[in-house]
Structure 1
Amino acid sequence: MTLDDNQLGAFLRSRREKADAASAGVIDTTRRRVTGLRREELALLAGVSPSYYTRIEQGRDRHPSREILEALARALHLDDTERTYLWSLATPPLTPTGNHPAPTVRPGLLQLLERWTDLPAFVVNPARDVLAATDLASRVNPAWTAGHNLIEFTFLDPRAPQVYPDWNDITQQAVAGLRATAATRGTELAPFIADIRRRSETFRALWDSHDVYDRVSGAKRLRVDNIGILHLNFETLAATGPEGHLLYIYFPHPNSPDDQALRTLRTAISATTT
């Protein structure tokens, strides 16, 4: 089962249609009836023949050379994440990943989570299933609880727009990050992605836009019961190994109202466990 019969062509077409022709250096005195770049215009900018580029976009050549890919990336002004994604689509891994990711977290990671009682932190697999989490993570966001899936919560749980004040941005980031992961773990993720596409029109539209980027750090706003809006920074750490597990750690600015809010939540958790 595959995510798309022609992912490389679909991605190139999406970037071509979203490109700004004027910024790309195309001078056109006629009234354009298409958005973005035409196939022949992109081919000219990349220094390849229009017929050859058409072969790539239509999926008749799925493994163009590195030089061709770099030329297309330059012409489309792709960023580093998009370039990496483009290359991965044309050069799939020699050894396919298994269809069943490891369901358990390494003992060392679990010990770390047990020590981080003062921070929301959790571990996910490539499909964004939460495998383990700190008590504070579960209190801050119900999705950050072992047994939940971040994608399913974001798109299918009616609580998500309430928990995420910036829900529209969160949905875009979630899909773009999942697509980046799927570039190297497509076989593993294909059934899950097909299921979410079927169940969520919003997910389907965002997935079909072919945007790809992965925010490994940044800031997020969350609405927490009895607290209000909480502003937290986050870092994402990859756990080396074939499982593809990721460790998310959220933290406030020191001595900020958000820091004090987390202290209040920790105190409440301690009171219920003693």
Structure 2
Amino acid sequence: MTHDDGRLGSFLRSRREKIDAASAGVVDNTRRRVKGLRREELALLAGLSPSYYARIEQGRDRHPSREILEALARVLRLDDTERAYLWSLAMAPPAPADNGTAPAPPVRPGVLHLLERWADLPAFVVGPRRDVLAGTALAARVNPAWSTGHNLIEFTFLDPRARTVYPDWEAISLQAVAGLRATAATRRAELDGFVAQMRERSETFRALWDSHDVYERVTGEKRLQVDGVGILRLSFEAFGLTGPEGHVLYLYFPRPGSTEDEALRSLAAVTTVSSKAPGR
């Protein structure tokens, strides 16, 4: 049995443990010894028999109907990303995982041209496994993880530089795993092998993956410790590139007129000169 054979039941169990029983309308005057909702409480709130819900959570029914999934999502107060993930778990099994050996589809020429035009900003493209497939020279200068050929997940959990580069490493590591789970909602065949490898290589990754948190951050702010510069606070936007490749473009930028703005301009000028030096 693989680590995710019971993924549907594990996800449901993790979500019901986060629901406050009283706020869900459960009246219980006894001393509760469990976190969140009991299995039978969730079943009744969703309009299911406790025995049938037990079958789902125990992995004996892995493909419940749309109506049942909607009822469970409602009681568990799942957001859109969590609902999508729940649906993916109840679908038919995907094609066999590639175990991370299949080559990533190349970045489209038009996207590469855009990256050349954005030399003054840290920008890069990743695949579903978070492999960095292309990026600006400034991206690699700001963060070694953003260099072509690196993997953002491996860097975060396996590279000792990560805790220095990311002053807020705990939050970033949690977000990285939750985002990877969100991607797994639609690309399980590509990610199952990679996730299995990471679970073996990092206890921290395994613990965060097994917490079953799932959400995506498509915009936000990140603090980075940059060599020779100090801490830069940069905003970012993530753009899913239309197509079967599953590529995502990340673009980082400073607030206009901020110290980060001035610092990035200086870094970009030096990086551009360096990249055009003879022998480069």
Deviation at 1:83, TM superposition (A): 1.2
1:109 alignment partner in structure 2: 111
Distance 2:82 2:63 in 1: 17
Write the mapping of 1:2-21 to structure 2, written as runs, cut at 5 A. 4-21=4-21
Aligned to 2:13, what secondary structure does the other structure show?
A: helix
Question: Which position in structure 2 is the counterpart of 1:214?
Answer: 216
Distance in 2 (alpha carbons) for counterparts of 1:97 and 1:243: 17
Whole-Å separation in 2 of the counterparts to 1:3 and 1:178: 16
Pairs aligned (count):
273
2:46 maps to 46
Residues 92 and 184 in structure 1, CA contact (< 8 A), matched pair in contact too: no
- Structure 1 counterpart of 2:58: 58
CA contact (8 A) 2:235 2:253 kept: yes
> SS where residue 17 of structure 2 aligns?
helix
Q: Shift in Å at residue 146 of structure 1?
A: 0.3
1:91 to partner: Cα distance: 2.3
State the 1:183 CA deviation.
2.0
Q: CA deviation at 1:92?
A: 4.4
Residues in 1 aligned to 2:155 and 2:22: alpha-carbon distance in whole angstroms? 40
AA matched with 1:111: H
Q: Does 1:249 align with 2:254?
A: no
Secondary structure of 1:235's counterpart equals: strand
How far residue 240 of structure 1 moved from its aligned partner, in angstroms, is: 1.4
Counterpart in the other structure of 1:239? 241
Deviates more, 1:13-22 or 1:166-175: 13-22
Partners of 2:237 and 2:97 lie apart in 1 by 27
Paired residue for 1:190? 192
Q: Which amino acid aligns with 1:130?
A: V
SS class of match (1:24):
coil
8 Å CA contact 1:2, 1:190 repeated in 2: no
Structure 1 residue 145 corresponds to structure 2 residue 147: yes
Deviation, structure 1 residue 96:
3.9
Root mean square deviation, CA, Å: 1.7
Contact 1:124–1:246 at 8 Å: present in 2 too?
yes
| Partners of 2:30 and 2:89 in 1: CA distance | 35
Name the SS for the 1:19 alignment partner: coil
2:183 maps to 1:181: yes
Secondary structure, counterpart of 2:146 in structure 1: coil
1:83-162 equivalence runs, <5 A: 83-92=83-92, 96=95, 99=98, 100=102, 102-162=104-164
Residue pair 2:97, 2:191 contacting (<8 A) in 1 also: no
The answer on whether the counterparts of 2:121 and 2:252 sit within 8 Å (CA) in structure 1 is yes
Shift of residue 154, structure 1, vs aligned partner: 0.1
AA partner of residue 119 (structure 1): L
Q: Deviations over 1:177-219 (max 9, x none)?
A: 1011112221221121111111111000000000000111111
Q: Retained in 1: the 8 A contact 2:127–2:248?
A: yes
Q: Specify the SS of the correspondent of 2:145.
A: coil
Q: Is the 8 A contact 1:97 1:185 kept in 2?
A: no
Q: Secondary structure at the match of 2:23?
A: helix
Equivalence for 1:226: 228
Cα distance change of structure 1 residues 125 and 23 upon mapping to structure 2, 3 Å threshold: same
CA-CA distance at 1:139 after TM superposition: 0.5
TM-score with structure 2 setting the length:
0.93
Q: Specify the alignment match of 1:37 in structure 2.
A: 37
Please state how far the C-alpha of 1:244 moved relative to its aligned partner. 0.8
Query: Is contact 2:124–2:134 with CA below 8 Å preserved after alignment?
Result: yes
Q: Deviations over 1:90-127 (max 9, x none)?
A: 1248x748732534211111111111101100011100
Does the 8 Å CA contact 2:137/2:272 hold for their aligned counterparts?
A: no
Deviates more, 1:63-72 or 1:208-217: 63-72
Q: Deviations over 1:18-45 (max 9, x none)?
A: 2211221111111111111110000111
Alignment check: 8 A CA contact 2:63 2:92 kept = no
Q: Is the 8 A contact 2:97 2:188 kept in 1?
A: no
Structure 2 stretches of 5 or more lacking a match?
none
